[in-house]
């Protein structure tokens, strides 16, 4: 298992190097001149040139790249041009908001999709199977920003049972003491039930819209994978040995069927990272997605660079985790490494 971990870590290094190069190039190739933008509309060419020198944008690309690498090695992602804040601090501040939203959505999706998929496969052709089909079709065909807007419209505007989509917490409530950065956990830890309720009601709509979106591929994969495993020879052996239906379905079938579901889970998580940007925009959620969108709109390249880099590292770490999970479930993977 340790060998597997080390070999997977080794393969992650080239990916990270690639990501660093790409983020650097990408932000330099984006349309729009940051110097012109920050010098202001009425700025003279001299003023723009001054800003450019100040930002170091007048140097050659290789020189800029070396500077970027050196900064990166010091854990410095540069400063945002519009707020003047260090990008690292902003990302660290905003990451818990995005992480809380994504994880709640993911838990919600997994908690519904896997039982639904398993039941649909075990009771193939019954109402639960049809329900599974409807849910997956709906989930695939509704884009996440649409579900988000629709939910805000129905539950906030029409029914008025949800709070206004304006961030993590109502303006009248104060944020809980920062322990993990997750409002739900921190408010419980500090015993602040009112804040917990407030945070939960703000979180509900964006988390549900993201869960609906990620539920479909998970439920579909669980159902399909369960169906093929239930028809396999070794499940027939288990039944022919008289093993209890519970043992056959869970210990024998599900543990085998879960392998492709884990792969899908990794994919779904990366979809969610992308969907974050949209959902955070719709619900004014103060996460890193919203931060990146704002930065992109103002050609503020340091935050964009930082965001892409953070997402890429997160994605690589996630894939590493999926690989390890795979090794944990499937002994054949352990051998291959």
Partner 1 sequence: MVAIPALAVEDLSVEFRTRSGVVKVLDHVGFTVEKGETVALVGESGSGKSVTAFAVMGILDAAGKVTSGRAMFGGSDLLAQSERDLAELRGRELSMIFQNPRTALNPIRRVGQQIADVLVRHGGATRPDAPREAIKMLKKVRIPDPERRAEAYPFELSGGMCQRIMIAIALACRPALLIADEPTTGLDVTTQAVIMDLIGELGRDSGMATIFITHDLGLAAEYCDRIVVMHAGHIVESAPSRALFANARHPYSAKLLAATPGETASLASLVSIPGGLPDLRRADLPACRYSGRCERLTDACAQPLPHKTVGERHDVACWNPL
Q: Which residues bind partner 1 (CB under 8 A)?
A: 232-234, 236-245, 247, 251-252, 255-256, 329-332, 335
Name which of 328, 324, 261 is nearest 114 in CA terms. 261
Whichever of 73 and 240 has its CB closer to partner 1, that residue is 240
CA 299 to chain centre: 23
Whichever of 54 and 239 has its CB closer to partner 1, that residue is 239
Distance CA 198, CA 208 (A): 16
SS (H, E, C) 267-333: HHHHHHHHHHHHHHHHCCCCCHHHHHHHHHHCCCHHHHHHHHHHHHHHHHHHHHHHHHHHHHHCHHH
Name which of 200, 193, 201 is nearest 164 in CA terms. 201
Name which of 322, 276, 327, 331 is nearest 95 in CA terms. 276
In the bound complex, what is the minimum distance in angstroms from residue 224's beta carbon to partner 1?
A: 18
In the bound complex, what is the minimum distance in angstroms from residue 238's beta carbon to partner 1?
A: 7
In the bound complex, what is the minimum distance in angstroms from residue 229's beta carbon to partner 1?
A: 10
Whichever of 203 and 235 has its CB closer to partner 1, that residue is 235
In the bound complex, what is the minimum distance in angstroms from residue 239's beta carbon to partner 1?
A: 5
In the bound complex, what is the minimum distance in angstroms from residue 260's beta carbon to partner 1?
A: 13
With tokens 């029914």, the residue in question is 159
Burial 202-229 (b: 16+ CB within 10 A, else e): bbbbbbbbbbbbbbbbbbbbbbbbbbeb
Whichever of 137 and 247 has its CB closer to partner 1, that residue is 247
Whichever of 108 and 238 has its CB closer to partner 1, that residue is 238
In the bound complex, what is the minimum distance in angstroms from residue 330's beta carbon to partner 1?
A: 6
Provide the residue count of the chain: 337
Full DSSP string of 197-264? HHHHHHHHHHHHHHHHHHHHHHHHHHHHHHHHHHTSHHHHHHHHTT--HHIIIIIIIIHHHHHHHHHH
Whichever of 84 and 331 has its CB closer to partner 1, that residue is 331
Whichever of 252 and 269 has its CB closer to partner 1, that residue is 252
Whichever of 232 and 270 has its CB closer to partner 1, that residue is 232
Residue 111, SS3 per DSSP: helix
Across-strand partners of 86? 79
Distance CA 337, CA 335 (A): 6
In the bound complex, what is the minimum distance in angstroms from residue 7's beta carbon to partner 1?
A: 20
In the bound complex, what is the minimum distance in angstroms from residue 332's beta carbon to partner 1?
A: 6
């Amino acid at each position: 298992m340790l060998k597997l971990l080390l070999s997977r870590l080794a393969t992650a290094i080239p990916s990270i190097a690639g990501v660093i190069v790409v983020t650097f190039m990408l932000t330099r190739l984006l349309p729009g001149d940051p110097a012109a933008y920050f010098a202001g509309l009425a700025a003279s060419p001299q003023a723009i040139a001054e800003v450019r020198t100040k930002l170091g944008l007048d140097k050659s690309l290789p020189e800029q790249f070396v500077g970027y690498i050196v900064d990166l090695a010091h854990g410095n992602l540069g400063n945002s041009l519009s707020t003047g804040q260090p990008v690292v601090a902003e990302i660290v501040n905003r990451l818990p908001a995005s992480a809380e939203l994504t994880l709640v959505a993911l838990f919600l999706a997994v908690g519904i999709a896997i039982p639904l998929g398993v039941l649909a496969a075990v009771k193939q052709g019954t109402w639960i199977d049809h329900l599974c089909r409807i849910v997956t079709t709906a989930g695939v065909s509704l884009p996440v920003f649409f579900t988000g807007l629709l939910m805000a419209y129905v539950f906030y505007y029409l029914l008025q049972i949800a709070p206004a989509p304006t961030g993590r917490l109502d303006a009248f409530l104060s944020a809980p003491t920062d322990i993990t950065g997750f409002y739900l956990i921190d408010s419980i830890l500090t015993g602040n039930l009112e804040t917990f309720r407030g945070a939960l009601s703000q979180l509900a709509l964006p988390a549900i819209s993201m869960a609906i979106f990620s539920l479909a591929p998970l439920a579909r994969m669980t159902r399909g994978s369960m169906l093929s495993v239930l028809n396999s020879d070794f499940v027939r052996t288990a039944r022919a040995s008289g093993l209890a239906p519970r043992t056959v379905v869970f210990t024998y079938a599900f543990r085998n069927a879960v392998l492709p579901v884990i792969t899908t889970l990794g994919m779904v998580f990366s979809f969610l990272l992308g969907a974050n940007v949209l959902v955070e925009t719709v619900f004014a959620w103060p996460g890193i997605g919203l931060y990146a969108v704002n930065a992109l709109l103002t050609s503020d390249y340091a935050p964009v660079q930082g965001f892409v880099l953070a997402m890429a590292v997160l994605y690589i770490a996630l894939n590493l985790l999926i690989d390890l999970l795979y090794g944990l479930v499937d002994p054949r993977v352990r051998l291959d490494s």
